[in-house]
Structure 1
Amino acid sequence: MKTNSAAARRSERIWVPAAIRRIEADFQRSSDTHLIPLPLCGFPGIDLYLKDESSHPTGSLKHRLARSLFLYALCNGWLRADSTVVEASSGSTAISEAYFARLLGLPFVAVMPSSTSTEKIAAITFQGGRCHLVGDPLTIYSESQRLADELGGHYMDQFTYAERATDWRANNNIAESIFQQMRLEQHPIPTWLVSSAGTGGTVATLGRYVRYCARPTLVCAADPERSVFFDHYLSRQRDLCQHECSRIEGIGRPRVEASFLPEVIDAMVKVPDVWSLAAMQELSARLGRTVGPSTGTNLIAALACMAQMRERGEQGSVVTLLCDSGQRYGHTYYSDEWLQDNGLNCHAERAALAASLDSGQLPRELPARWQIAGELAAV
């Protein structure tokens, strides 16, 4: 229970700066993530790069978001030494938030869809958190708030605060890091930045930063099936929703989230799930290590950008995100039995994609399956 006593306020003034210092010290111990070139002989003059976010201490892009959310909550006076942190998450954000909660000595509860992979649940538990599973993905929001109220804690609410917690001008900014790392490349100013949307916070950061710095770079957002973001991009209707959970963990949402800002996005690609998984598998083979399914979604959207550049005779660079490792999905996306049971067998699509990356020609079946909007509409 919150208290406004003088003793409590004095205690908070001591604890909050110490908590911020712990988070900042953790940041100082961390190095930046790698930018990996991926040569593709089918696209001469067009360079593709992967920003490898799997190398963060908690193994995913969401490490950046979790750090920003904790600093935002601390500086807003929402977290105290006795707070229980609660978050609605499909897994990766919860893993990262559990890490920071443990760093501050705070209990952590993740409210997640029951379809979340066992590997992600185990990773949250390893970081000291506990998991509260729900059947309907639309209930994770209300259930998170209910638990926070019941426990006298704080609901972090990544889907509302992701775009505002991150400093999109500079500090702790993935966009600034990309442009810094591209400085000595053949095409240092990317033609496209490509990112899938979970909360929408990363895409918002990319879009805002290129506008703030007056870059000519375009931003493309990738969306999986069973998500409303693409339809919202087209219609701007905020009341869109659907009750099926995205089959690509970590991205896509059943409702329009406050952090998704279509105004800063130049194009969108809605990627069929089977093609996301085909791209995940093919990219893993080419890198020599496994990647997660949202990275496959990103690769397909990047392919749309590269295909347009090739058609127009343009040279340049495209940067997308390697969101997390495939190690978290051994019992799902890397299981042939699981793929078969879920109607996601992607052997034919992977073979077609491999030929496309080597030839520069889009797989014949893909343009009929994906949906494209914005600056890519002519692809």
Structure 2
Amino acid sequence: MEVPGYTEIRELGHGGTGHVMLAVRDSDGTAVAVKHLSDRLREDPGFVARFRAEARVIAELDSPHTARLLDYVEDEGDAAIVMELVDGVPLRRLLEQEGGTGPEAALAVLKGALLGLAEAHRHGIVHRDFKPENVIVTEDGGSKLVDFGVAARSGDAAPLVGTPPYMAPERWDDAPAGPRSDVYAAAVVFYECLTGRRPFTGDNVAALAHQHRHAVPALGAVDEPVRGLVLAGLAKDPAERPESAEAFLAELEWVAAAAYGARWEARGRSRLGALTVPFLTLRPPQPAAGGGTAPLPLPAALAPASRLAITGGLVLATAVAVVSVFLIWNDAPSYRYASPPATPAPAPEPTGRTPAPSTEPGTVTPPVSFTDPPGTPPAREPAGGVPGGSVKLTGGVTVPGSVDGAGVRPV
């Protein structure tokens, strides 16, 4: 089912909770990504509430380093988040291709993602799933943090959800959500960029939990000037880590300038941009206003003498639990709950839904609050894990056991 006002072009990716479509906004031809909740999960009010909560979280963020919300639509036939379309490559793809990126590129990609994370932390939002799949690298070497699908408010006693190789020690002990856990995950990603591998590589969830709690990361492959930064982010005790993404970013800036000079970021971003070239030169044409397609410009990293024909091919998108990727910001976000079908009965009581604000080019969309329909349950994690007494964590890791106050318990 398509969202009114948008024409869907093709699927960008799919996962256990739904699928992401490339689409264009009918009013002006802007390319967007539309994230649909699956039909099966729309039958669960708790999942719908959680999906709506994700839209609320994204709506609060206003940073060029996060994916911005354009629209939210919910009715009895669909629930969809419309996002700006980020033109770039998941960091995971680059790591799979290249291994370690080198210290300056690692610092540059971490800086961009931390800027997005800092915006979330300023709003009291904890991402809870910072990993290479959720960091998008653009052709100019910039980076964005995406997919706030399992985000929680700082201090909330949120259920255990995340990707085990990136989960901080305290998260295994069911600690309340906090910014320092995100800092830890960012440090794991930083280590992976520096070395081409994760600091902890247990072959099952129990082993990973033990390593995150007790093992000391090997630093032999980490460039000496940034070892202190890695150790600060990976401290077992949350109190010994930077208190937020903003604090970690301040340490990063100081260490980078001291170790690599004033132009470290320019060199790092140039390196990252070059790494995206093999992917972005194979992307298919983008949708054009009025239908059809328009050729995509070549990445800036390609010199004029290197220009070559682009003939389509690889769709550069991943959907990990329907991750929102590929974004191009256009105008202010809007939110809407589609009204239920008209009936001959008397006018119903207010449902808490709001009509769609104008999204015509040049207009400013007034802020619209999300108001849940009466009786809507709070957002919650699905009970019972997955069939067969097992637990499925974000990132496709399924283990025998259950999720409870003690974390993941193998059985």
TM range (shorter): under 0.3
Q: TM-score, normalised by structure 1?
A: 0.27
- State which structure, 1 or 2, has the greater radius of gyration over its C-alpha atoms: 2
Q: TM-score, normalised by structure 2?
A: 0.25
The answer to which structure has the higher helix fraction is: 1
